[in-house]
Amino acid sequence: MRRLKHRVAWVGVFSLGVLAGIFLCARLDVFSKAGAVISSKGSVDEAQLSANTFSIENAVINVAENVGPAVVSITVEHAEKTLSGYRRFQFGAPSDNDLFGRFFDDFFGEMPQREFKQPPALGSGVIIDEKGYILTNEHVIADADKIMVVLPDGREFKGEVKGKDARADLAVIKIDANNLPVAKLGDSDNIKIGQWVIAIGNPFGFAMYSSEPTVTVGVVSAINRSLGRGLSRGKDFNDLIQTDAAINPGNSGGPLVNLRGEVVGINVAIFSTSGGYQGIGFAIPSNSAKRILDRLIEGKKILYGWLGVSVQDLDEELAEYFGLLDKTGVLVNEAIKDGPADNAGIKSGDIILTFDGKKIVSLRKLLKVVGDADVGKKVKLNILRDKKEKIITVKIGERPDDAKDISLTKRKKTEESWRGLSVKNIDSELQEQLGLESNEGVIVVDVEPDSFADDAGLLAGDVIEAINKDKITDVDDFQRTIKRVKAVALIRTKRGYLVIKAK
């Protein structure tokens, strides 16, 4: 009996152990499942990460295989005329060369000229039509005496310029070939910051000893970038795509492509302190090219809309003076006489709020929409005048080749006040020195340090044309007007408007 009880006890212990083991295993399974859930929600799944990496890799490979054959090398030759007895080297400013030339002319008489070939310039291009039309930068083929195009398969053709536009820095050349691989122009308005892009071109040209293009990968670092007047050199570089995809000399004119194989930009420039790649490259949006592509192919002049105004962005003080809640809009400094804006009745001091239904948030936005507007089109502008909104219809003119830049130099941002300001009349000598059309206004001859005028950003040499919309023709006008100023004053100078406060 005792033995039976002992056996029953052992069976019970064994059963409890089995049950405990099953329970423990179940608990461990639950924890592992919970851990898996936490991992999937709180961190990147390794398998998914690997799949995404593989997907991007495949996309880049596909772009290289499908778009690469449509990217060409462009070699340009220039001939320079110089005197046969010596070569004009650039030692310094052009005047130095002229002096050097006059020395030879005076002592040896005029010498015959001959042509010297400069080292070939190298660039890239992208085939946009199977009949041999190639899109590139205007600066790649500018002033070319001979253009040679080399396809990735090694075939070489002579290129002919069909159309070019220096302002847009775009050109179309043609080669005598058919059934060529073509790259598709995509919609650059849809690109996003952080989006993967691929730059294809021929950096350093034939130094690589290959006609096949190079592929580099990066992201869109920024959009709507402007290079500024100093770097733009007369070109319209106010709406560029910035990328960290490696772009080097020779890449100019090549395509910037998205992972779908669509050309979203034409590589145009790099920003570098050394002349090499430093992670900052720029491309012209493809939509800018599409807008003028047909006219380039047809060899027609590219027309740009022109409003005929000089304008400036608003700062907080100007926005407050005009009763605006924010800095939206641009302030008209001057409507050029007999220009489209002047003929429509736009005046100095007006604030342009909308153009053809598009909200104007900055000077750069106005530059773009005016430039893109069809010449001769009648456009409605919503302006603010004397704190009241008004609709004005303007007939868009054609931008003259010698049109002044619509933008004004932005003044230093400071806390603004009044006083500390000395002025004098503009005599004929000053008028000539400053290149002024008339002697109306007063010139600032002194600004006391740390004064209200200094705080306002006024500078010696500024020409004051109006105060609170009262025209200033001479010192007498200036003195009479400032006596009436109690607190806030709106000052118009040749550089633009500024607001001076009394406190």
d(CA 153, CA 472): 69
Residues 325 and 454 in one domain: no
- The one-letter amino acid code at 333 reads N
- Which one is catalytic: 252, 288, 310, 407? 252
Indicate the DSSP class of residue 374: P
Rg (CA), the chain: 34
Residues 294 and 379 in one domain: no
Query: Tokens standing for 161?
Result: 């310029």
Query: Tokens standing for 126?
Result: 């992208």
- Which one is catalytic: 124, 139, 244, 350? 139
Residues 336 and 293 in one domain: no
In a domain, 105, yes or no: yes
Average pLDDT over residues 469-494: 83
Quote the mean pLDDT of the chain.
77
210 assigned to active site: no
Residues 353 and 280 in one domain: no
d(CA 284, CA 304): 17
Residues 135 and 153 in one domain: yes
For the domain that residue 361 is a member of, what is the CATH number? 2.30.42.10
Residues 297 and 312 in one domain: no
pLDDT at 124 over 50: yes
6 assigned to active site: no
Residues 473 and 435 in one domain: yes
188 assigned to active site: no
Q: What is the pLDDT of residues 171-192, one digit of tens each?
A: 999 999 999 999 999 999 999 9
d(CA 356, CA 351): 15
Q: Bridge-partner residues for 148, per DSSP?
A: 75, 158
Residue 94 buriedness (CB in 10 A; 0-12 / 13-18 / 19+): exposed
Which among 277, 302, 327 is the end of a domain? 302
- The one-letter amino acid code at 200 reads I
Average pLDDT over residues 293-319: 90
Distance of CA 24 to the CA centre of its chain: 65
Which among 359, 383, 398 is the end of a domain? 398
What is this structure's pTM?
Answer: 0.65
In which band, very low, low, confident or very high, does the pLDDT at 322 lie, cut at 50, 70 and 90? confident
In a domain, 379, yes or no: yes
Q: What is the pLDDT of residues 79-98, one digit of tens each?
A: 665 544 444 433 333 444 45
pLDDT at 501 over 80: no
User: For residue 200, what are the domain limits?
Assistant: 69-302
For the domain that residue 102 is a member of, what is the CATH number? 2.40.10.120
Residues 296 and 336 in one domain: no
Closest CA to 249 of 278, 276, 273, 283: 276
- Which one is catalytic: 73, 124, 165, 169? 169
